[in-house]
Amino acid sequence: MPGPARAPSAHETAAAGGFTIAFCLEGQLRLDDQPALHEAVALARHQPGSRLVVLATRPEGQRLRGPHQRRIGAQALASLRSRLTALGIPLLSFPQQTTAAALDAIRPLLRPDRLFKAQQSRLFEAWPVAPERFPLVFSNFRRRLDRPPEAPLPPPDLSGLGWLAADWPEAWPREWLQSLDPDPVADPLGDPYRDPQSDPRSAFPFRGDEPTALARLQHFCGGSDGLRHYKARRNGLVGTEFSSKLSPFLALGSLSVRRIWQVLLEYQAREGADEGSEWLKQELLWREFFLWSEQRHGAAFHGASGLQNRQPAWLENRELFERWCHADGGHPLIDAQLRELLASGYLSNRGRQWVASHFINSLQLPWTWGARFFEWWLIDAEPALNTGNWAYLAGVGSDPRSFGGSPRRFDLERQVGLYDPEQTHRQRWS
C-alpha cells in the first residue's frame, strides 16, 4: 500500500507533550455506550495535547460478514466518519481486517502511543455466572444471574481531540486514506447474488447507522404500540412493525444492548411491566446466554454434535443443498422464505424456524450447512445466536427439549394457516 515519502510521526502531528491515542471499534460502530472510548478520552484529558484516531476493524476470530451486513455496515461507517470528521478526528476503515493487521498497514504513517479496543456489546461486561457453574439451559442461566445489567454510558465529549487541520491533505494524503476502504459489498467468494441492494419489499428497510438505530429504538419502545404488543405480533411475516427490528443494529454494534435494556426499564417505569416488554427483555437475555455459552464452550459450541456430543445421520447431498441455497428446494413456503433472505437479508423469527426445521427434518441435510448459510446471508447474523438456535432445532443444542435428541418439527401447512392464511408473504416473494 503506497504511502508518503516521509510520513509525519505521531509526535509531530499531535501537540507537544500529548499522546496519539488509537481507539479500535472492533465491530462496534457507535459512540454511545463505549466504556473503552471513555477510558481513551480520560487519558487524553489527562495528557494535554493528546489526539485521537479511530480505527474500524473486526475482532480477532470473527468471520467475514456477508453482503447484507457489509452493506448496512458501510452505512454505519459513513455516518460515523462524518460525525468524527466534524470534530477533526480521523476514522481509518479496515472492516475486514483485524486490529493487528490495521496497525501494520498504518505504521508507515502513524504509530499510536496508546491503544484501546471496544468490547462486544453485552448486558454484562464480566461473567454473570461463575464459569465453572455456567448452566447448559437458559432457565437456569436466568435464575443464576447474580446482579442486574450494567447501566449504559453516554457518548463521551470528544471536543478538542481532533487533529485534521487545514494542512491535513499534505500531512495525510487523502488518496492513501481512501485506499483503506474496501468495497463494502464485494463478495470474495464470488457468490451469484453479488452486490445486493435493499429490496423495497424488505421487512428491514432501514439504514444501519447509529442515529437510525437509536431512532428505531425510541419508535418501537415509545413512539408506537409495538412494544406493548411485541409478544403477540413477533411471529408476523410482512412489514416493519411486527417485531422490534433491533437485531441488525445489535449485530453491527451500532446499538448497545445495555441501551435497549435501559429504554425498556424506562418504559416499564412509565407504562408498567407488560407482556411485551418482559418478553423483549427475555429475548435479550437469550442473546446474552448464547454469547456467554459460546465463550464457555469454545469450538464445541459450533461443532456438528453440539454440546450433547451427539451427531445424527445427516444426508450430505450437495446437489440438493445447492438447489436449496438458490431457493429452489421444491417447497413453495420455504422457497419464498429463502428468496426473502437472499434479496433482503432478513427473515422473521417464525420464518427462520420453518426454514431450519424443513432443512433438518425434511431434507435431512447437516444442520451446520444451513447454519453457515444463514450466518452469511442474514443481515443480523451473530454466530453465537445463529448456532445456538440452529443447534436447538437440530436437537443437539443447549435446551431441555433438545436433550432427548429429537429435532423440533413444524407442521408447515398448519403454520401457513396460522401466520400466512392469505398467502401474503408467499405472493410477495414469489
pLDDT tens digit sequence for 246-266: 999 999 999 999 999 999 999
pLDDT band of residue 19 (cuts 50, 70, 90) is confident
**Which one-letter DSSP state was computed for residue 220?**
I
State residue 156's pLDDT score.
97
Task: Name the percent of the chain lying above pLDDT 70.
Answer: 86
The mean per-residue pLDDT over the stretch 262-271 comes to: 96
Whose CA is closest to 69, among 284, 376, 347? 376
Q: How many CB atoms lie within 10 A of CB 269?
A: 9
State residue 405's pLDDT score.
57
Q: What gap in Å lies between CA 10 and CA 15, rounded to an integer?
A: 9
Task: Name the percent of the chain lying above pLDDT 90.
Answer: 61
Least confident of 76-90, 167-181, 338-352: 167-181
State residue 190's pLDDT score.
42
Q: C-alpha cell of 339?
A: 428468496
Q: Is the pLDDT of residue 168 over 60?
A: no
Its pTM stands at 0.89
State residue 17's pLDDT score.
57
Spacing of C-alpha 347 from chain mean position: 15
The mean per-residue pLDDT over the stretch 399-407 comes to: 60
The mean per-residue pLDDT over the stretch 268-294 comes to: 96
Q: How many CB atoms lie within 10 A of CB 395?
A: 23
Higher pLDDT among residues 170 and 225, named by residue? 225
Q: Render the burial of 270-295: b for 16+ CB within 10 Å, e for the rest.
A: eeeeeebbeebbebbbbbbbbbbbbe
pLDDT band of residue 188 (cuts 50, 70, 90) is very low
Least confident of 76-85, 142-151, 195-204: 195-204
Q: What gap in Å lies between CA 359 and CA 363, rounded to an integer?
A: 5
Strand positions, DSSP E, 25-141? 51-58, 91-98, 114-117
**pLDDT tens profile 56-113:** 998 887 788 899 999 999 999 999 999 998 898 989 988 888 999 999 988 877 889 9
Q: What gap in Å lies between CA 399 and CA 283, rounded to an integer?
A: 15
Q: Is the pLDDT of residue 183 over 50?
A: no
Please name the residue ranges forming H helices in 185-274.
Answer: 210-218, 230-233, 247-252, 257-271
Mean pLDDT score across all residues of the chain: 86
State residue 406's pLDDT score.
63
Least confident of 178-192, 230-244, 263-277: 178-192
State residue 72's pLDDT score.
93
Q: How many CB atoms lie within 10 A of CB 214?
A: 18
pLDDT band of residue 367 (cuts 50, 70, 90) is very high
State residue 211's pLDDT score.
97
Highest mean pLDDT among 13-27, 33-47, 92-106: 33-47
Contacts of 79 (CB under 8 A, 6+ apart): 207, 209, 210, 211
Please name the residue ranges forming H helices in 298-400.
Answer: 318-325, 332-344, 349-357, 367-377, 383-394
- Chosen CATH of 306-428 out of 1.10.10.10, 3.40.50.300, 3.30.470.20, 1.10.579.10: 1.10.579.10
Q: Is the pLDDT of residue 301 over 70?
A: yes
State residue 2's pLDDT score.
42
Q: Is the pLDDT of residue 1 over 80?
A: no
Q: Is the pLDDT of residue 41 over 90?
A: yes
Rounded to the nearest 5 percent, the helix, strand and coil shares of the chain are 50, 5, 45
- φ/ψ of 297, rounded to 5, equals -100, -15
State residue 111's pLDDT score.
85
State residue 417's pLDDT score.
81
**pLDDT tens profile 126-135:** 999 999 899 9
The mean per-residue pLDDT over the stretch 199-219 comes to: 93
- Domain residue ranges in the chain: 306-428
Spacing of C-alpha 276 from chain mean position: 23
